[in-house]
A and B are shown apart, each in its own frame.
Chain A
């Protein structure tokens, strides 16, 4: 997973969101809301974390079962893939369910 250039997390009006700046803003002029775990995952993803590392991060931070953590990470990544914010490197992503 690679975050495309120009996508950054910012707080706007008290809400953490992802927006596009610079060249990326020409194609993407909306925003994506990040909840608490979303912010945590985004920070790790921006530093190059793999899907497996994101799941481990969820398990280390929250008191959740592995399958729940895995599902949450999938939902998070799917949201970003659909919005064209990240490039998919590996192809083991299930293309299903989208979270809020």
Chain B
């Protein structure tokens, strides 16, 4: 009655059978005899509360889906103490580095990643929706996870994060460096913020390490190939400290 997974370089034991999660074991499964770094073991009451909270906020999701998301929240809370946090973003890999597109839902971050894939065959998806950002030895990495959006685009990789592009819809195409202090609202909205204060403070510490090391851009774009070529050329070719 448990699933052993390898996520962000950690062995995770989930004490719960979830059909959606099980469907990702081809990429994320690992052998049962490994010693887990993290155990997700919640009682039914916790799960019911989580599902109730989920339903209050959003659509009436199928139980399996709510459970799948509740497992991720629990995992993300535990991962904070392993120097990881969740960022809402579409992350794509190019030449061994990861690039994250972030924006409120519906802006077109997945679309922008798809345009990179269409124009640059050397790219592949790390996580189309909810990557884990991992800090290790002062470097910032983006990780694939089984929670990766409706198209289920992800790879079980941990790659250095080369840039973060905030997607803005615009007829005029541009890619410009922005200062983290001017994007506080955006970044706070795009990360998972735990209710527990201590965990929230740790998350802010990790967020600050990311913002200090990884270049932040505003990408003004439409859905043209030109937009993707411009952002690709800027993000993958400018030097930065994290790579």
Contacts and interface: CB of A to CB of B under 8 A. Distances in A.
A13 B180 contact: yes
A18 B140 CA distance: 25
A22 B207 contact: no
Interface string A4-25: 0010001111110101011101
Interface stretch (B13-21, B73-81, B90-98, B185-193): B185-193
**Secondary structure type dominating chain B contacts:** helix
Nearest to A11: B208
Contacts of B197: 6, 21-22
B181 A15 contact: yes
Contacts of B184: 12-13, 15, 17, 31
Contact of A22 (B179, B183, B185, B196): B196
**Secondary structure type dominating chain A contacts:** mixed
A30 interface: yes
Contact of A21 (B180, B187, B201): B201
Nearest to B196: A22
A22 B188 contact: no
B69 interface: no
Contact of B200 (A11, A15, A21): A21
B201 A12 contact: no
Contact of A12 (B187, B189, B195, B196): B187
Contacts of B201: 10, 21
16 contacts: A10-B204, A12-B184, A12-B188, A12-B207, A13-B181, A13-B183, A14-B180, A15-B180, A21-B200, A22-B196, A22-B197, A25-B193, A25-B195, A25-B200, A29-B189, A30-B188
